[in-house]
Amino acid sequence: MALHGFSDDEIREYILSSREQLGPRKFAALVRAFHLGDDQGLLTQRPTNTSNPPRPRTMAAGYDYRSKTMFVRFRGEKIAKGLYRDGVGYEYYNVTRREWNRFRDAPSPGRLINTHFNNKPYSPAAW
């Protein structure tokens, strides 16, 4: 199954190559997310804050201090009034601890992503 235009083999290679950059716990969490679909270890901030509770933009987030990577899961499809499935994930690179803390504490993380984090390198997540 290809995800975002990448084959499973390409994604596995990317994950294995990230071993040196990620801390051991985040690397294990990334492997678990890819193979089992369980992103709980990557996305420790659940739920994220929102300025629009009926329609939050971000659902969960996490941060790896060693690689300076922020992981964010966005809102997916609506399943009931005010209830959404987790949607696509993104990885934001070169995020400092201070920026992570700012994101984590922001009243509107989605707005902060638009104004600040979309100016950083980022990519769709392989998980």
pLDDT at 3: 46
Measure the CA dihedral 126/56/48/99, to 10°: 80
Range of the domain at 12: 8-124
Mean pLDDT by 10 residues, the chain (127 residues): 60 77 82 82 88 88 92 89 83 96 95 95 85
Count of other CB atoms within 10 angstroms of residue 103: 23
Q: How far is CA 51 from CA 34, 45, 77, 90, 110, in A?
A: 30, 16, 19, 20, 9
- How many separate domains does the chain show? 1
Q: Has residue 68 been placed in a domain?
A: yes
Q: Has residue 3 been placed in a domain?
A: no
Q: Has residue 24 been placed in a domain?
A: yes
Q: Has residue 2 been placed in a domain?
A: no
Distance CA 112, CA 109 (A): 5
Q: Has residue 1 been placed in a domain?
A: no
Q: Has residue 110 been placed in a domain?
A: yes
Q: Has residue 21 been placed in a domain?
A: yes
pLDDT at 2: 41
